[in-house]
Amino acid sequence: LFSRLYGPNLVETPKEDLFFYSRLFDDDGVAPEKALVVDDSPDAVQRAIEAGATAVLVTGPASGADGATAVIDRLAKLPRAIADIDFT
């Protein structure tokens, strides 16, 4: 499901920085509206959404994230969550 995994070292920007996802999308050559970010941090999910991406939060069932397209409790559920997302 993943073509490349990113960390702060690849875009020379801390993940907590507001520009992390913009730099990540630029580096990968993907338009933000075509990107899917999967993270276990509600803050990271929110920053990805603010950068224009679709985001899935992986967290326990009692947690959530404002604006996340999907919230799943384990990565095994990611393929189904992706199948339910309309990227158009």
Q: What angle do CA 61, 50, 19 make, to 5 degrees?
A: 115
Amino acid 31: pLDDT? 94
What is the reported pTM? Answer: 0.72
The residue to which tokens 């520009």 are assigned? 19
Q: What angle do CA 61, 62, 65 make, to 5 degrees?
A: 90
- Residue 81's CB: how many other CB atoms inside 10 A? 18
The DSSP symbol for 32 reads G
| Contact between 38 and 53 (Cβ < 8 Å) | no
Amino acid 21: pLDDT? 93
pLDDT (tens, 9 = 90+) of the chain, 88 residues, equals 567 788 888 888 888 888 999 999 999 898 999 998 999 899 999 999 999 999 999 986 555 556 777 888 888 888 888 888 887 7
Closest by Cα among 56, 54, 53, 67 to 25: 53
